[in-house]
Structure 1
Amino acid sequence: MPRLIFFCGHAGTGKTTLAHRLIGPLMEATGEPFCLLDKDTLYGRYSAAAMGALTGDPNDRDSPLYLQHLRDPEYQGLLDTARENLALGISAIVIGPLSREIREHRLSDPQWLALPAGTTVRVVWVHLPEDEAHARIVRRGNPNDAYKLAHWEDYRQRRFMPDPAEYPELIYFDNLAPGEAEVARLLDALRA
């Protein structure tokens, strides 16, 4: 049965790095093929062209215009691509903040996900303290973060830490300084 594994969390938490670190061990542990679907890789160039045409800023990924007109279609396309792979028997790792979907419990809603029968779903919430995430965003120097950094007070209002009691569907992963034991436990949870 195929697996759909989400790596979610706010910017700068290390979602992509963690997913890259685990995809090989996951394939080895499960014996299954996986594809990796990163929202920024799939839609980054398109969004840059669209936002450049609309606002003159190809790196804008956080303005109200982007959030209103491009965010949801990007996520819909990301999930459509995952569904297509799952229907072919290929497990998928999906990387993206997906914070709105987390808040609304959509990633644990079978009707909303509309996945092929028998798909196993795991949702990892990768988190860091806000100051560390901010520092990592500054260090990585990605132009796509410029709007977010320039409007940090607005952006931070969208940041939240899901309460485990309210979001039991999530696998929480503190990415501040995980050791091998923490990564091994996460791998075990994902292949279960």
Structure 2
Amino acid sequence: MSLLVFFCGHAGTGKTTLAKNLLGPLMSASGTPFCLLDKDTLYGSYSAAAIAMLSGDPNDRDSPLFLQHLRDPEYRGLIDTARDNLELGVSTLVVGPLSREVRERRLFDHAWLGVAPEVTLRVVWVQTSEDVARQRIIARANPNDAYKLAHWDDYRRRRFEPSGASRAGLLIFDNTAPTSADHEALVARIVAR
């Protein structure tokens, strides 16, 4: 069974940490090798150089300029890399906000993703309260978050929270203070047939 698992959600929710913590348990539970593709790791340096050329600020990751010109190519490359791994028989964990793709239901669409119909798709929406997320963002002191923090009201207004039909099929995970039992339950839901 090949799995394509997305860990989505807003900054500061702990998507990457959660994905890293679950990588080993998912390999054990599914019996398949996995790779981890984190958007910031794959495209962070490249996007910093590109946005610096456009705006003069390599940490400009939330401005309208970045969102209009670099966001979508980053995500397309992330999904294309996941597809390459799946074609080699390697299940894949993909980490990135991907809120627009969740809202538009694209991460449940095998054709849009370009993956074989037999690939099992799982979308984990990682969440925590806005206050906790903001505290985590401040604590990690990543320069990429500077625009977000300086324009917090604008950022928080565009934060998408799944509700109604957009929640269908999502594995909602509260990452405020998860226990090992919470992790085990999520792994079971991801690998369930």
TM tier, shorter chain? over 0.9
In 1, the alpha carbon distance for the partners of 2:108 and 2:121 equals 8
Show the counterpart of 1:41: 41
| TM-score w.r.t. length of structure 2 | 0.96
Tell me which amino acid in the other structure corresponds to 1:140: R
| TM-score w.r.t. length of structure 1 | 0.97
- Match status 1:111 vs 2:111: yes
Show the counterpart of 2:91: 91
Runs of 4+ in 1 over 6 A off after TM superposition: none
Structure 2 unaligned regions, length at least 5 = none
Show the counterpart of 2:29: 29
How many residues of Structure 1 are paired with residues of Structure 2 in the alignment?
A: 192
In 2, the alpha carbon distance for the partners of 1:112 and 1:3 equals 16
Task: Report the CA distance shift for 1:176/1:164 in structure 2 as closer, same or farther (over 3 A).
Answer: farther
CA displacement at 1:160 relative to structure 2: 2.5
Equivalent residue of 1:146, what SS? helix
CA displacement at 1:164 relative to structure 2: 5.5
CA displacement at 1:163 relative to structure 2: 1.7
Task: Report the CA distance shift for 1:165/1:181 in structure 2 as closer, same or farther (over 3 A).
Answer: farther
In 1, the alpha carbon distance for the partners of 2:166 and 2:79 equals 24
Show the counterpart of 2:122: 122
- Match status 1:70 vs 2:78: no
Tell me which amino acid in the other structure corresponds to 1:124: V
- Match status 1:191 vs 2:184: no
Equivalent residue of 1:178, what SS? coil
Is the contact between residue 12 and residue 133 of structure 1 (CA under 8 Å) also seen in structure 2?
yes
Question: What are the Cα deviations for residues 87-109 of structure 1, in whole angstroms up to 9, with x where unaligned?
Answer: 11110000000000111111112
Show the counterpart of 1:145: 145
In 2, the alpha carbon distance for the partners of 1:100 and 1:165 equals 14
Show the counterpart of 1:163: 163
CA displacement at 1:86 relative to structure 2: 0.5
Structure 1 unaligned regions, length at least 5 = none
In 2, the alpha carbon distance for the partners of 1:178 and 1:62 equals 28
